[in-house]
Chains A and B, each alone.
Chain A
Amino acid sequence: MAKRIKVLIAKPGLDGHDRGARVVARALRDAGMEVIYTGIRQTPEQIVATAIQEDVDAVGLSCLSGAHNNLFPKVVQLLREQGADDILVFGGGIIPDADIPGLKQAGIRAIFRPGTPTEETIRFINENVSE
């Protein structure tokens, strides 16, 4: 039997809107994944430390406050610096179209915006977590 995929859902920055993060965490859990939710107000450093300590396969970042351009790339960069760049990073929130190319270039592999069915996120993780 394949190993269960382990995902960290994290809220970087000061944003307190975590309805989306919690719903996604629960949907991933229902889809058979092991999910850790950090709670709100995490620094990129705290998120990366948790990701490495928990040996997760993927990190999902949620931000609705507009600070994603500062925070999401920082997480990827810190993972790289610590040799954990095999961890799949994706994001969600109120992210304008114009910001998506920059985020993808920084190493955030997918951005899921309001209205995305949780099925889509689940499929993305299943297809992209390296065996």
Chain B
Amino acid sequence: MTNSDDDLFSEKSTSSDTQQVQNILELEAKIPDILSSAGKCIEAIQLNNSLEDFRKYSKEFLETVEFISTGLRRQALELEKAEVPVVSLQPKKRYASTPLSNLIFDQSSKLM
């Protein structure tokens, strides 16, 4: 096994990537909280007509938005620092459309 293969499957890189994925999962779990906190703010104004509740929930809303946007930007920078290749999805498997015997026959015909 070559050095590049060792680096590719080393525990250090795998654990680092796993940690990064866990961080993203934590961020992802908090993204829907933006809408719930915004809803609470609107309810405080429309239904309860309470300024104190509005201030409380609006602070929560803004903190959530700030946390998520800052966290995602940090993750984007981490991608650049780690020099992760620009490959979003694994390439699809390619199957031979014709049997191998035909390919071999065509190749042998070219060689003759």
A, B: real partners: no
Chain A contacts to B: CB under 8 angstroms: none
